[in-house]
Amino acid sequence: QVQLVESGGGLVQAGGSLRLSCAASRSGFRLITMGWYRQAPGKQRELVADISPDGNINYAVSVKGRFTISRDNNKNTVTLQMNSLQPEDTAVYYCNAKRSTWSAEYWGQGTQVTVSS
């Protein structure tokens, strides 16, 4: 019972930047691991980055050094700052929430990111 709403997707030129934001409507946000995943046409959904309640961060090798994930526990939001974007980054990006005590994960509706060459 977690509602996740993404925003910030759009069209950008190669080498440009974009910032995605995810807002969660739930108490106990600071106890939840938040992440960003993406899915391109014909491919499986893959992890881009996630961040645990204590600040531990994982990045996909393909985005390390270009993307930065952060969270604001006062606003119940998680942000993905994407720099040096390339056409290979084109995908639908999804916000994710999970916790070890939960039996299921929760997903946002997705936001389209398109990078032109």
pLDDT digits (tens, 9 = 90+) for 3-42: 999 999 999 999 999 999 999 987 778 889 999 999 999 9
Distance between the two ends of the chain, CA-based, in angstroms? 40
pLDDT bracket for residue 61 (50, 70, 90): very high
What pLDDT score does 12 carry? 98
Average pLDDT over residues 37-50: 97
User: What number of other Cβ atoms are within 10 A of residue 29's Cβ?
Assistant: 21
Report, as an integer, the average pLDDT of 75-85. Answer: 96
- Mean pLDDT of all residues in the chain? 95
Among left, alpha and beta (phi > 0; psi -120 to 50; other), residue 116 is: beta
Q: How high is the pLDDT of residue 23?
A: 95
Strands lying side by side in the sheet with 77-82: 3-7, 18-25, 77-82, 67-72
Nearest one of 1, 18, 15 to 93, comparing CA atoms: 18
